[in-house]
Structure 1
Amino acid sequence: MGDATGVPLRRRLLVTIAGVTTLAVVLLTLTLAVAVQRLYRSEAVATLERDAARVAATAPDDIAARPRPVALPEGLSGGIVVGIYRADGARLTGDGPAASPVAAATSDGRPHQADEAGVLAVTAPIPSDEGRRAVVRVGMPDAAVARRTDGAWLLMAAFALVVIGLAVMVARSQSRRLALPLERLTGAAQALGDGDFSVRAQRSGIREADEAGRALEVTARRLGTLLDRERAFSADVSHQLRTPLTGLLLGLEAALERPGADLEAAARTAVRRGEHLRDIIDDLLRLARDAGPDREPLDVPALLAELEARREDAGRPLTVRAHGPLPVVHATTSAVRQILEVLVDNAVAHGGGRITVEASDIGGGLAVDVSDEGPGVVDTDAEDIFERRRSAGPGYGIGLALARSLAEAEGGRLVLRRLAPPIFTLLLPAAERRPERGDASPA
C-alpha cells in the first residue's frame, strides 16, 4: 500500500508542470527584459552618435578659439541637449553642464558615451586643421530611454501572465490524463515486487505510459529467468573457486606434514596460487556486476602469456603458441580469460600428457584450441559435457557449461572438436576492419 499521507500524484503533476512552465517563462521574460533594455539603450546611443557627428561636421573648426553659438543642422532628434566643449571638458557654448568628464575623455580623438547626472551623453570630436581642440556633446535624459523600456517590460509581463495562466490550465488537464495510467503502473509494479511475474499493464492510449507498461511486462518475464541465472552463476562461482582453493590448501598441508619440506618454496607457491585465485574472483565479480560488455580489442598475446606463466601450477608440460598474425577481436577480457582457465583446468584434472594451447586465424575469426594427450571423452555425446549437470561424463561438470555460456555471451562458440585425444576450440568472430589501421604483414 502507498503512503496515504503523501501528496497525490495528480497534484504533484500539476505543481511540477505549472511550476516548471512558470520558471521557464519568468527566466525567459527576465532575459528578454535585459535584452530589450540593452537594445533601447544601444538605439539611443546610436541616435546620439549620429546627431553628434552631424553637429561636429557643421561646426566651425575654429570654435575653440572663437566661441560662439553654433547653428544646429535640421533633422536632429527631439529632446536632446547639444553643447560645444574644449578638450579639457569645459563648456564653450550651447547647453549642458559647465564641465563634462566624457567630453574631456574625447581628447583622444574618438567618440565616447557615458551617463552624466541622469543624462545619456555622447561626444564626437570636431575636426580642425590645428588639431582636435573642440568636442560636441549631445545628451538625452535617461528618463526618455527608461519610458520606452518600461513600456516594453509591461507588455512582456502581461504576456508572461497570460502564458502562465494557460500553462496552469493545460497542467491541470494533463495531470488528470497522466495520473490514471501512472497509478495503474504503480499497481502493476507493486504486484511485480510481490513476486507476480505475470503482471500486465492496461493500455491507456498514451504512448510513453504504454511503452512503460510493455517494458514492465518484459521485465516481469525476464525476472524469473534472471533469478535462475543468478542461481546458476552462484554454482559456477563455487565450481571455479573450488579447484584453485583446493590446490592451494593441499600444497600447504603437504608442506607442513612432509618432514624436511622446503617451507619457503611452499609459501611462494601458495602466494602464486592465491594471486591466481584473486584474479579469478575479480573476473567473476566483474562478470556478475553485468556493467556492460567491454568491447575493446582483446589482447590475445597477453592472455596467452598469462596461461604460459601457469606452467608450474599445471603440474604437466604446457605449451602456448600463436600461429601467424591474429585477427582483431572485440570481447570481454575477463570472460575469455575464464573460458581458457576452465579448459586448462579440465585438461589438468581430467586429461593426460602435454597440454597445448594454440591461437590461430581461421579467416573471419579467432580460434583458440586447448588439447591434451589424455583419453578424452568416452561413452558421452560431445554436447552432453556442456550441460550443467555432473552426471554428463567422468569429471566434467558445470565448469564447461559456464565456459560455453560465456563464449555465447561474447558472440562466439565453444565446441569439442575432437573427442580423443580431446581438443576444445573457442571461436570468436573478428572485428570489422578500421580504415585508419593498416594490416599487419605476415612475419
Structure 2
Amino acid sequence: MTAQGVPLRRRLLVGIVSVTALAVALFLVPLAIAMNILYHDQTVAALQRDAAWVAAAVPDEPRAPLKLPTGLPGDLAIGGYTTAGARLFGNGPAHSRLATSGKDGRVHDMVEDGFLAVSAPVPSDEGPALIIRVATPNSQVEQRIQQAWLLMGGLALIVIALAAGAAVRQSARLAAPLERLTAAAQALGGGDFSVRAAPSGLREADQAAQALEMTARRLGDVLARERAFSADVSHQLRTGLTGLLLGLESALSRPGTDLTPAVQAALTRGERLQEVLDDLVRLSRDSRAPAERLDVDALMEETRQEWHGPLARQGRRLTITVEPALPPVTAQPAAVRQILRVLLDNALRHGQGEVAITVSDVGPGTAVEVSDHGPGMAPDSDPFTRSSGHSHGIGLALARSLAEAEGGRLVLSRASPPLFSLLLPGHDT
C-alpha cells in the first residue's frame, strides 16, 4: 500500500471488476440482440405455419359459417381478407395493410395494431383472391424477449459478483506480501535486523523478501562488526593512553626527579598513540578501498625501529627474518602495521625471551609469524574471543578482524610457546 494514491487492493478490485463488466457487456449486448431476432423469427415462423395450414383448409370462395381447422392456439386472431385489405370473416382489423401486400402470392409479416401478424394467400387457379391473416399479440413476444433479457442480466450480475469475490481474494493475496515487505522494511529502518518475511507463494514477492532478508542479515553483521571494531579500537587506544598517564604520574610522584626523560617518553607514546589513531581512522574510512601492494621490507624496518627499544629495555631481543624473493603481497599497510603492533604488544606484555618475526613464502601468499618464549595460551583456550578472560583478547580480536578485512587470516599456530601466523593474500599480476 502506498503512502499516497489509491491502495493496491482497491486498484486490483476495481480493475478486475471493470474488465469483467466490460467483457460481460461486450458479450451480452450482441447476445441480447440475437435473442430478440431469434424470438421474433420463431414467432413469425410459427404464425406462417399456422397461416399456411388455415389457407390450405379454406375454400377459394368461403361460405358462412366457415369452419377453421382445429388444434390452433387459442390466442391467435385469424381472419380472411380480400386482396384490397377488407375483412371478410374472422378476427382482426376491418382493414389490413398486411392483407393488401399478400396479393403478390407470397407470405408477409409485420406488426399491425399491436399484433405480430402474418398473411398467407389462399391457393387459386386464377391467382390469390383471399388472404388469410394470422396474428398474435406482440406484447407476448416482447414479454418473452424481456424475460430472456432479465435472465441474461441476472447471469451477468452473478458473473460480476463472482469476479468481485475473486478480485477481493486475489487482491488480498497480491497485496498482503507487499504489505508484509513494507512492514519488514520499516522494521529494518528502525534497527531490527532480524526481520523475516514469510513465503507467500508469489515468486517475485518471495524473491524480494529473500533479498530484504539477506540485506537485513548483512546489515546486522556489518553493524555487529562495526560495534566490535569500535570496542576493540577503544581498548587499543585506552591501553596506550593509560601507559602514557601512568608514566607521567610516576614521574610526578617523585619530588626532585628530572622530568625530562618522563616527558620524552610521554611524547614518544603520544606520537605512537596518534599514529595508531590515524591508522585506525584511515582503516575505518577506507574499509572498502582497494588493497595496494605492500612493501614488506619497509614495513619490517619500521617495525624494528619502533619495537627494538621497548624490548631492549626489558633485556629482550627482536629478530626479524625476511626470506628473499618474496611474492608480491596485497594489503593495506596501515592494517598490517596495526596487526603487528597488537602481536608485538602482546609479546611485550605477556611473553618472555626473544621475540622473532619471520616473513616467508607460503605459495599463494605470504606468512608473517610472530613468536616469543613465554608460557603462551592454554591448549583449549581461544585468544581471539573477547570473553576469553584475557585482557589481550580484545586486541587480538581487533587484529583478526583487520586481517579478515584484508582477505587474510590470523591464527594461533602454536599455543606454547606462542606462535601467531598472519597469512596475507598474494598480489594478482
Q: TM-score, normalised by structure 1?
A: 0.51
The aligned residue for residue 364 of structure 1 is 364
The aligned residue for residue 297 of structure 2 is 301
The aligned residue for residue 340 of structure 2 is 340
Deviations 1:95-140 (A, max 9, x none): xxxxxxxxxxxxxxxxxxxxxxxxxxxxxxxxxxxxxxxxxxxxxx
1:400 maps onto 2:396 in alignment:
yes
Distance 1:259 1:277 in 2: 28
1:198 maps onto 2:177 in alignment:
no
> CA 1:262/1:294 → structure 2, altered by over 3 Å: closer, same or farther?
farther
Distance 2:309 2:255 in 1: 22
Aligned partner of 2:215: which letter? Answer: T
Contact conserved, 1:356 with 1:370, CA < 8 A, in 2?
Answer: yes
Contact conserved, 1:294 with 1:333, CA < 8 A, in 2?
Answer: no
Distance 1:334 1:285 in 2: 10
Deviations 1:149-169 (A, max 9, x none): xxxxxxxxxxxxxxxxxxxxx
The aligned residue for residue 380 of structure 1 is 379
Distance 2:247 2:270 in 1: 11
Contact conserved, 1:293 with 1:331, CA < 8 A, in 2?
Answer: no
Indicate the RMSD between aligned Cα atoms, in angstroms: 3.4
1:425 maps onto 2:424 in alignment:
no
Aligned partner of 1:198: which letter? Answer: V
> CA 1:227/1:265 → structure 2, altered by over 3 Å: closer, same or farther?
same
Contact conserved, 2:369 with 2:419, CA < 8 A, in 1?
Answer: yes
The aligned residue for residue 248 of structure 1 is 244
Distance 1:375 1:259 in 2: 38
Greater mean alpha carbon deviation, residues 260-269 or residues 295-304: 260-269
Contact conserved, 1:185 with 1:201, CA < 8 A, in 2?
Answer: no
The aligned residue for residue 153 of structure 2 is none
Deviation at 1:292, TM superposition (A): 0.2
> CA 1:253/1:312 → structure 2, altered by over 3 Å: closer, same or farther?
farther
Distance 2:284 2:265 in 1: 28
Distance 2:335 2:346 in 1: 17
The aligned residue for residue 233 of structure 1 is 229
Distance 2:414 2:181 in 1: 53
Greater mean alpha carbon deviation, residues 193-202 or residues 226-235: 193-202
The aligned residue for residue 387 of structure 2 is 389
Q: Which structure 2 residues correspond to residues 1-400 of structure 1 after superposition, within 5 A? A: 8=5, 186-196=182-192, 197-200=194-197, 213-289=209-285, 291-310=287-306, 311-314=308-311, 315-316=313-314, 317-377=317-377, 379-381=378-380, 384-391=382-389, 396-400=392-396
Deviation at 1:206, TM superposition (A): 9.6
Distance 1:296 1:201 in 2: 43
Aligned partner of 1:277: which letter? Answer: L
- List alignment gaps of at least 5 residues for structure 2: 8-174
Aligned partner of 2:268: which letter? Answer: R
Distance 1:291 1:245 in 2: 25
The size of the alignment, in residue pairs, is 259
Deviations 1:25-66 (A, max 9, x none): xxxxxxxxxxxxxxxxxxxxxxxxxxxxxxxxxxxxxxxxxx
Deviation at 1:8, TM superposition (A): 4.5
Deviations 1:253-310 (A, max 9, x none): 2222234444233222212211211222222233334640431111222322221122
Larger Rg, first or second structure (1 or 2) = 2
Distance 2:386 2:374 in 1: 23
SS in 2 for 1:258: coil
Deviations 1:320-367 (A, max 9, x none): 342212221111322222211110010011011222222222333211
Aligned partner of 2:379: which letter? Answer: T
Distance 2:257 2:414 in 1: 41
Contact conserved, 1:191 with 1:199, CA < 8 A, in 2?
Answer: no
Distance 1:322 1:276 in 2: 25
Identity rate of aligned residues, in percent? 57
Deviation at 1:213, TM superposition (A): 4.7
Distance 1:324 1:260 in 2: 52
SS in 2 for 1:357: strand
> CA 1:324/1:351 → structure 2, altered by over 3 Å: closer, same or farther?
same
> CA 1:319/1:266 → structure 2, altered by over 3 Å: closer, same or farther?
farther
The aligned residue for residue 147 of structure 2 is none
SS in 2 for 1:331: coil
> CA 1:262/1:369 → structure 2, altered by over 3 Å: closer, same or farther?
farther
**Runs of 4 or more consecutive aligned structure 1 residues displaced over 6 Å after TM superposition:** 180-184, 201-207
Q: TM-score, normalised by structure 2?
A: 0.52
Distance 2:203 2:286 in 1: 32
> CA 1:404/1:385 → structure 2, altered by over 3 Å: closer, same or farther?
same
Greater mean alpha carbon deviation, residues 309-318 or residues 180-189: 180-189
